[in-house]
Amino acid sequence: MNILHLSNVIGEKKGGGVHEVVSNLYKYQKLLQHEPHIWYPGLQKDSDSIALDDNIKALKTFGNNKYKIIQDIFTSLPNEVQNYDIIHQHGIWTSISLYSQKIRRQLNIKSVIQPHGYLDPYRMEISKYKKKLMYLFFEKNNIIHSDVIIACSEPEALYFKKIFYNKDVAIIPNGIPLDFVNSLNTDTLNLRLKTKHRLLFISQIIPLKGLDRLFKVIANIGIDKFSNYEFIISGYGDNRYIISLIHLVNNLKINNLVSFIDPQYAKNKIDLFDSADFFIFPSYNENYGIVVAEALARKIPVLATKGTPWEELNTHNCGFWVDNNNEGIKSGLLKILHTSEQDRIIMGERGKELIKTKYLWDYSAKKTIELYLWILNKGTKPSFVI
């Protein structure tokens, strides 16, 4: 099967969770003996972290870096687009939606859309008037005329059904590569020299992630309670916002606990996960939260809010899924402070087992193929479609 992944962004340092999904689907669909391709607006060098082959193509654009417009929207489509059986669109609110729509209209190719959290209520409030205009101008029509919407979790799927009640919605969780799960740690010296328990946050540093309220909760509990801890914040984001968080940390007098470091990739990221005792994810809203799965895969128990779809932290006893407010986060942090080393290790083992039995990319990639075949009238309706 020839599959065209149209992604709004590619690159480890640009794409975050979207890049993780697209690059891994590309890899695992190839392992399943299919022919995936990736097209994206940007520079060819952005895709170097995926593969160096002709199946990955940077689309020419014009305009500023934030609002890149794909040139082919206003010209004839390239001939090779006729070779694809299905389009898998990643992300919305950009010209990738106009491009996907044009291909579908002109060539009648089946398509699925994976919003990657961009339709979540919290994100919809960001630049909401621009999004309302874009929704009326092109995005509503694009989604309605696609064949299926892909959600990463059941809560996200139910939310989609409320908005687009006539649409089929497929629930396909993002996955974790097996080599990420099984990778050996290379930073044993750093782990051996560690003298404090380590709390860790890895993600894009934006207001959505809730770090400001987390810092206030820590100050409310009392910095003295964290005397045997350090808290590492790793990620990228707007420099002005990061500076404002650093000022907040200083004003709350928790600067001896909290440290900001650059984003880490590949083996460095795995080593950073393995250095942690608990992963903290205080986000207001997430359609999935790939870093939660990554932490669990590395045997790190997780504290996450109910703004994320990770109820399994409680049901599988591999972390704490708490109310999406200050009191909930406070209760989770207090539980961490009272968790013994033995219990922490057991929780970590349970988390890794959860990922290995349910959240590997091998499983998710097979589900996408099953979904495509059904859309193309070559298979039965999958059980994960509602």
Closest by CA to 368, choosing from 174, 165, 140, is: 174
Question: How many domains, in total, are found in the chain?
Answer: 2
284 and 354, same domain (yes or no): yes
| CATH code of residue 16 | 3.40.50.2000
Quick one: 41 and 166 in the same domain?
A: yes
Q: Are residues 115 and 58 in the same domain?
A: yes
Specify the pLDDT at position 81: 94
Tell me, yes or no, whether 232 and 344 share the same domain: yes
Identify the pLDDT of residue 15: 62
Pairing of strands 278-281, 258-261: unpaired
Does one domain contain both 22 and 98? yes
Predicted local distance difference test score (pLDDT) of residue 65? 66
Q: What is the pLDDT of residue 257?
A: 97
- Provide the residue range defining the domain that includes 133: 2-175+360-375
Would you state the pLDDT for residue 187?
62
- How much is the pLDDT for 10? 86
In a domain, 278, yes or no: yes
Is residue 383 assigned to a domain? Answer: no
Task: Determine, yes or no, domain membership for 122.
Answer: yes
Query: How far apart (Å, rounded) are the C-alpha atoms in residues 86 and 19?
Result: 20
Residues 95 and 242 occupy one common structural domain: no
Please check whether residues 24 and 68 belong to one and the same domain. Answer: yes
386, part of any domain: no
Q: What is the pLDDT along the chain (386 residues), one digit of tens a residue?
A: 999 999 998 876 666 678 889 999 999 999 999 999 999 998 888 777 676 678 999 999 987 666 789 999 999 999 999 999 999 999 999 999 999 999 999 999 999 999 998 998 888 888 889 999 999 999 999 999 999 999 999 999 999 999 999 999 999 999 999 999 998 876 654 554 567 999 999 999 999 999 999 999 999 999 999 999 999 999 999 899 999 999 999 999 999 999 999 999 889 999 999 999 999 999 999 989 999 999 999 999 999 999 999 999 999 999 999 999 999 999 999 999 999 999 999 999 999 999 999 999 999 999 999 999 999 999 999 999 99
Claim to verify: residue 57 and residue 196 sit in the same structural domain: no
258 and 316 together in one domain: yes
Q: Are residues 167 and 271 in the same domain?
A: no
For residues 196 and 289, membership in a common domain is answered with: yes
Residue 190: per-residue pLDDT? 57
Q: Of 347, 361, 273, which is closest to residue 315 (Cα–Cα)?
A: 347
What is the four-CA torsion angle of 78, 82, 86, 92, rounded to 10 degrees?
A: 20
State the pLDDT at residue 20: 87
Query: Would you say 208 and 284 are in contact if contact means Cβ atoms under 8 Å apart?
Result: yes
- Residue 244 domain-assigned? yes
279 shares its domain with 304: yes
pTM for the structure as a whole: 0.89
Residue 194 lies in a domain: yes
CA 35 to chain centre: 24
> What pLDDT does residue 255 have?
95
- d(CA 26, CA 217) in angstroms, rounded, equals 41
> 346-374: b or e for each residue (b if 16 or more CB lie within 10 Å)?
bbbebbbebbeeebbbeebbebbbbbbbb
Residue 303 located in a structural domain = yes
